[in-house]
Amino acid sequence: MTIEIGVIFTLIASIIGVAGFLGGQKSAAKKDGVEWGELKSDVKYIKDKISTLENSYETNIKYFDEKIGRVYERMDEKINEHLKYFHIEKIIT
């Protein structure tokens, strides 16, 4: 009977050890899953921010292109005004 109790305790200890190992594996897998989910979330956040920056960049380029176009128009107007003035001045003198 003593041997049978020793075998039973050994089996129970083995079963508890295997259960603990499997529980640890499950916990580690869950932790890996959480970390993977956080990583995916971070990558999505970064992609969204890059997309926002690209849109902002394109909007700014359009804005400054329009401003530069207006500056060139004003420069042309002023140059033409000065040319007219110098042409009239040459005629007068």
Task: Write the pLDDT tens digit of every residue in 37-61.
Answer: 888 888 899 899 988 888 888 898 9
Q: Identify how many contiguous H helices and E strands the chain contains and give both numbers.
A: 1, 0
19-to-10, 11, 16, 27, 86 alpha-carbon distances in Å? 14, 12, 5, 12, 99
Q: Which stretches in the chain have pLDDT values below 70? A: 1-3, 6-7, 22, 28-29, 89-90, 92-93
Q: What is the mean pLDDT of the chain?
A: 81
How far apart (Å, rounded) are the C-alpha atoms in residues 3 and 1?
5
Structure tokens at 86: 């110098």
Torsion, CA 8, CA 10, CA 16, CA 21, rounded to 10: -150
Q: In which residue are the tokens 């890996």 written?
A: 32
pLDDT reported for residue 92: 67
